[in-house]
Amino acid sequence: MLIKIILLVSFFSSCSYFKRDNKAETPTANEALSNKKAFYCAEGKRVLAERGFMDSRCDSLLFTALWSTACGPVDLTSWEDIDTPGKWHRNPNRDCFLNGQPNGSASSISRDMFLGLFHHIWSTKDKTMIQDIVNYGEEHNWIMGEAKDNETLLSRCLMTPQLISLAKDIKSGLFGLAATRQSSDDAVGTNVGFRAHLDILRILLSGRVRGGVSDSELSTLKDQAKRQPHNALYVAAYEKYSGGNHAAELLLSQEHFPNDRLPTTANHCINYLHSRDEGDEDWKPCAEAPLKEHDGTDFVFAAWVVLGEK
């Protein structure tokens, strides 16, 4: 019996997954953050009703899906191809890269759009949506759209093995089957700029779908939080699996996220702050007038991570 106990302890101590909910650690900060998030979600609904999507037209699938994950489901069916289930577009009019012409983008879809969409699918438990995506991918060698040339097609529209594995694990999870995580799924390194943001989104998604993150993924989260200590999303993602609540403090600060209104270009130039590194011009107020209102997706998604909402 003693040997069995030792083996069990050894197994669980060597397990490469971590799971921690910090929701109850600092109730005062989390209550304030929850209230602020509710206000931002309400304001975001207004923006969504006025515009029909979040962020820029040809990146709208990613950011509308992230907002949907944080604030409640948005009907994204307009982004899916009318005639081809499982084929998705960057915007609800499906006119970014149209008839071989860019019209706002060099490709009709990209891998980062699917990262946001996968978060939405896992939240809404939409079995049909993920089944159609996997079917389309398998039928088209995981080339998920069109682009101006082969180089762009491969760099944007070809799903990586990591995303293919995640898509299949989402499908498995929603249909009650076990995940089939591959040993290479968590290989990331420490990227910078927008690529770092995509790594964070992928690791967060992996943790949701697979019940935790690996040692390598946790190391990436730690490195990114250390590299960008004022990026509330990066800090929140690391603290989700390591403890702490500094991300809540960053989000409750009014420098970038005012309490009584959505941010504007007077707070930071780019709409979605956490996709860029601090030090970039995007983190500074825009020099140009007039002021432009942002939609708050960066705030609500990071707050959603901090609060541990499903």
In this predicted model, what pLDDT tens digit does every residue of 68-90 receive, in sequence order? 999 999 999 999 999 999 999 99
What is the 8-class DSSP label of residue 196?
H
Tell me the two tokens of residue 45. 């609904």
pLDDT band, very low/low/confident/very high, at 22 (cuts 50, 70, 90): very low
Using the predicted structure, report yes or no on whether residue 12 has a pLDDT greater than 60: no
Checking if the pLDDT of 7 tops 50, the result is no
Looking at residue 106, what DSSP letter applies? Answer: S
Query: How much is the pLDDT for 270?
Result: 97
- What are the tokens at 8? 């069990």
> Does the predicted model carry a pTM greater than 0.85?
yes
Tell me, what's the pLDDT at 291?
Answer: 93
243: left (phi over 0), alpha (psi -120 to 50) or beta: left
Tokens 């109730």 belong to residue: 27
Q: How far does CA 17 lie from the centroid of its chain?
A: 20
Residue 2 has pLDDT above 50, yes or no: no
User: What whole-number distance in Å separates Cα of residue 198 and Cα of residue 200?
Assistant: 5
pLDDT at 18: 55
Percent of the chain with pLDDT over 90: 84
Q: Which residue has the higher pLDDT, 29 or 285?
A: 285
